[in-house]
Structure 1
């Protein structure tokens, strides 16, 4: 008989905790939720105070039976799920699903998986917090109501398969509005003036004019007035300054900094943080608090004093700005400050070190700086002392403090990083090497990254630590947002240079607007967003959504009844749903007329279809069918011009011949390609299908042939479907779409056709495991190529089954 059964959420956590508790405790995992609303149907009795109907997940039924047996035999059942709303709800569902008795059920919580934390939790159990459970239920039910009632409206009025969500739709709105802000931005240019001076002992000094000139004429006039000028240090001002460390990580700040420094996606950051938490290395990773416990402050102080010296210690107690933050919880920190690095996977090491550095730095002394500003006067023989003055700035670190461990990154490109100035004195004359006035252009607000979108949602009070990563993932999975890199565009700029008392002007080129891992809305996102803004303004309103989050907080604190909160929301929302019957499908912006074809007079329009946006020339008639073309990457329905639309119909196009065979370029499902002699050759990222010429096409064809030749080890004329190829992970046998690993004991070049077929038969007979395993009849796939025989060769094979094997 088991004395104590402890149920946690994840198997990794169970393994760690079982090692701390000893032989009287059996620790098992629930693998997350065991009950939820069913996938199909609304499962909510709206008229009966929004009562939900929960069911045990199909993949958890066996697990629940096992836990029921263990719980029945145990003297005490300890529910040890996470210390937040979701964790509380999981414990409540376990209690209900396992029919646990009140007198033998105890709830324990901890924010770190260490021996002391676990043993302390066992010593101070509590009962289930139904206010937290109700807050989670209210969120789950409200989100189900919104999705279940609003999504079908989108199917009827826009496109089948669309979805809407209380938080995801607001996130999409932010991305759509930012895209339109960028597209509507009017770029203005100005001229930035900088000067390079030669100082004693080969040192240099860079100074800038504090203002920009609006026009090239103004900038040229200034440089003309500087001809033969005398440049002197007019004033030197030195002031002490300091830098203060950032607080320890919350969920959102960890996601932002891991994105900037480690280039992790939001979901990757949370996945790795989960592993670190479950292995006992960091505290709980879903938190909006910057608070550290007194025990943590003491341990951090000891580590700082021992490693860096007492002068580096400055204990701080941070107060979270968010009203909804739970101050009883801690920020994300290492469980043991004396461990500065770990020997886990590289990604886990990097994230752990980031968390350790941030937490340690938050308790270290300010960095003491000395900032120097040099003002440089200009005395022109022709114009006297100019009113304009140049400024040079620099700083010296007098005491590094927390900078010895950690420097916080920002989203800005022009992060402040001032160099130290060379020795200067007032009245010192400077030798001008050159002065330049360079044309610079104003920039719109940057597109969102995953991390900056999380930051914006947090600023607006939308979502909570547990919802940021799922929201960012959902808007991409539903096809509303794509995360991708985009190449910049070329533009010209002007540069005016004063050197050796002579002025020259030049036109140069630069690449601007390149994007790295940015979030772009799709056409579907724009249409759905506009529809929701027009007909469901409350659901997609920033303030309203933030207010709903505060209502959940009020429920969690026991200050609001969850059924009343839902009723208040649902009454108005459901009326709007009912009124959508009056909305005409044709009034939703799924198509737009672009004009008429200049040669044929046919109507040209852009439409949203089942597989995305496309341009159509002509109308469907009995004898003539319209022509269609898909939009290019980066084009949007709402701003596509007639000229851009007609350009799309230039493909496919012939671009010459090679080996007496025509070469055509076109765009297919997998991107632009060249068609030649019945074969297809993909274009590179740098190739434009609308402008590529025959010379470049031949280079691509030859390169692909060379690559294929190097890949092929052996072929069999008697059965061309069987080949031995050289792949990424070494040689393998390819039979149709089936890939078979070659044993190390076999020489790929000496294999016969019979041996290849025999290896395929052996691979097919092995038990299927892992992600490629299928149940029942689905596992019995038949690959005709494996059994294909030719009369000329006379091969015989009895193998009828094959399984795709990952190379």
Structure 2
């Protein structure tokens, strides 16, 4: 019989911790939360201090029975759920279910699942933190009040089956506001003129800057013609060469939001995928020669703090691997934003000695990619600055100034390991561009000029990465809420993901307008951010959760009553297609679901026929000659197949261009790798000819 019972959330975590604790400890998993508010009713007594009514989650009866039996056999119980509000709440519910005394020092907390961290936590157990629990419970009740009181109103006034959420509604508003900004955008014309030059057998360009030292925009073809009249027939003379040193600092180690953003940029991971894989790395994986090991620190954090022991280990590794010049004089410290929970560390590897190369054979493809990203970011964050030599050259012709800039890396510093995704474009465009040796007075005779028309572009739609960044900057939600928020608004059909960008549906716009007109505080960005700050104060014990709930509910209840009286039923328009339902003969209509638009029979529920909306590519099937269309597989991955399916099974994975290979007649397709896109024959494996590859595009 084991002396001690330890309860964690997941079997993977239980397995890792059990390895460190020994035979006297039995480690069991609660499988997440064991109690919650009921799904069938509000579950909150608004007339009695918002008292919640918790019930056992369906399917958790056997888990609770097993835990109670183990509790009877153990001398002491330790609650080792994750180190955040949700983890503290899980521990509190377990304490209640298992009748553990309130003052029992049963809570153990660790931010990485390593032998030293786990043993240190069990050496210093504490009582449950009721302020953390109050903050979690207050957030849960707030979200329940909004969801369960507002959703029925949306059912009655807009569409059956709708629901609303406190943070999700504001996220949809950001997407809707951006879409309307794009629609209202008026593009403005502008032109660029580049001088094409060569020196020391090296080609380079210089772009028109202005007349004299003042920047002069070129807004029309007439402006360009005026400039060309000014410079044609005149030599282009180097008037100034400026050389300077520029230093770049590394990015801080990851927090939750920056991890999600960078995984989206560099790996193409959606936020949910990033967090799921990070959870696996945190809880522990089987590593040959070591057994089950937690590879990263806790992944839900907004602190950039790093333990001194981890900094020292990183410094030693960098010194041995790259040399003393790559180690800063003292360990790097990064400022953590206000309100961050500094008890947590940044997301980092539990040991830098487990290099990505050493881990590759033990991890799945996704696990390895994310681990490599985390490892490289952390190592780089503890390295010296990069030093770049930057050159700026001014050239003049009859009073017109042209400018060319370029940089070379004199000392790579942290860039030897990692550069942040958002900086890669600037590196390609400027830092990686070098100029030939030039001196004042150098003359370029009869240079060639190239002009190009441009139009200003509207702001881009939000990607998952940029939406996370916006929510973080505006103070909407917390690290643990970003991924579920984006998943929820997709499930509800308020937004779609098109080309990895969020697009609001008509339903999303209707709901945002309804909420804006009738529930201003609920959908107000500043109010939502203030609410997050108030929840942090509950966690810090500065205000009581009931005080926050009362203040919110008074206004919310008033708005509900007014909306119920004044709101008319909202009619959503339905797009009718020219596709005939083969089952009942009606014209099918366009519907929007979680994965985008599809065709459905308007005779529902009598006729339940649905069809995918196919997008023609302009290419023809080489097997039967029918049109190739865009399709989606079971995991929503896009592929391209013959419209004659199932009679013809021709499939390709790359997007057809609409052109055919001049050699074999198969469709030409686009391929992308490392920022480069090129066009090649889809049948390239079957033949190697110069005609197979037609062009290369950046």
Question: What's the counterpart of residue 481 of structure 1?
Answer: 495
The 1:573/1:529 distance shift into structure 2, 3 A limit, reads: same
Of 670, 673, 676, the residue aligned with 2:611 is 670
Higher-Rg structure is 1
How much does 1:318 deviate? 3.5
- C-alpha separation in 2, matches of 1:709 and 1:399: 57
2:111 aligned with 1:111: yes
Question: What's the counterpart of residue 473 of structure 2?
Answer: 459
8 Å contact kept, 1:289–1:329: yes
How much does 1:317 deviate? 4.3
CA-based RMSD: 2.5
**Deviation digits for residues 231-288 of structure 1 (CA, Å, limit 9, x no counterpart):** 1211111011111101000000000001000010000000110000011000000000
2:246 aligned with 1:241: yes
2:258 aligned with 1:253: yes
- C-alpha separation in 2, matches of 1:312 and 1:710: 55
- C-alpha separation in 2, matches of 1:25 and 1:633: 52
SS in 2 for 1:192: strand
SS in 2 for 1:708: coil
Aligned length: 593
Question: What's the counterpart of residue 523 of structure 1?
Answer: 506
Aligned 1:400-411 pairs, distance under 5 A: 400-410=412-422
- C-alpha separation in 2, matches of 1:297 and 1:446: 38
Question: What's the counterpart of residue 291 of structure 2?
Answer: none
**Deviation digits for residues 633-682 of structure 1 (CA, Å, limit 9, x no counterpart):** 99xxxxxxxxxxxxx9xxxxxxxxxxxxxxxxxxx94345xxxxxxxxx6
Of 259, 262, 287, the residue aligned with 2:301 is 287
Of 325, 338, 347, the residue aligned with 1:332 is 347
**Deviation digits for residues 200-221 of structure 1 (CA, Å, limit 9, x no counterpart):** 2x21121111243011011012
Question: What's the counterpart of residue 582 of structure 1?
Answer: 565
The 1:703/1:181 distance shift into structure 2, 3 A limit, reads: closer
Of 551, 556, 561, the residue aligned with 2:534 is 551
- C-alpha separation in 1, matches of 2:224 and 2:387: 38
Question: What's the counterpart of residue 541 of structure 1?
Answer: 524
- C-alpha separation in 2, matches of 1:432 and 1:286: 61
Question: What's the counterpart of residue 70 of structure 1?
Answer: 70
Question: What's the counterpart of residue 654 of structure 1?
Answer: none
Aligned 1:703-782 pairs, distance under 5 A: 708=647
- C-alpha separation in 1, matches of 2:126 and 2:315: 32
- C-alpha separation in 1, matches of 2:277 and 2:143: 27
8 Å contact kept, 1:34–1:56: yes
The 1:155/1:320 distance shift into structure 2, 3 A limit, reads: farther
**Deviation digits for residues 435-490 of structure 1 (CA, Å, limit 9, x no counterpart):** 111001101111001111111011011111111111111110111111122xxxxx
Could you list the runs of 5+ residues in structure 1 that have no partner in the other structure? 379-384, 486-516, 591-606, 618-626, 635-647, 649-667, 673-681, 712-807
2:320 aligned with 1:313: no
8 Å contact kept, 2:304–2:336: no
Q: TM-score, normalised by structure 2?
A: 0.81
Aligned 1:5-44 pairs, distance under 5 A: 5-44=5-44
Farther off after superposition, 331-340 or 226-235: 226-235
Question: What's the counterpart of residue 120 of structure 2?
Answer: 120
Question: What's the counterpart of residue 448 of structure 2?
Answer: 434
Question: What's the counterpart of residue 450 of structure 1?
Answer: 464
The 1:78/1:710 distance shift into structure 2, 3 A limit, reads: closer
Question: What's the counterpart of residue 262 of structure 1?
Answer: 267
8 Å contact kept, 2:642–2:649: no
2:326 aligned with 1:323: no
The 1:568/1:209 distance shift into structure 2, 3 A limit, reads: same
Could you list the runs of 5+ residues in structure 2 that have no partner in the other structure? 210-215, 285-293, 579-585, 594-598, 600-608, 630-640, 651-698
Question: What's the counterpart of residue 219 of structure 1?
Answer: 224
The 1:699/1:527 distance shift into structure 2, 3 A limit, reads: closer
The 1:669/1:219 distance shift into structure 2, 3 A limit, reads: farther
The 1:633/1:553 distance shift into structure 2, 3 A limit, reads: closer
**Deviation digits for residues 321-344 of structure 1 (CA, Å, limit 9, x no counterpart):** 532101221110000011221230
Of 675, 679, 684, the residue aligned with 2:616 is 684
SS in 1 for 2:243: strand
- C-alpha separation in 1, matches of 2:493 and 2:591: 16
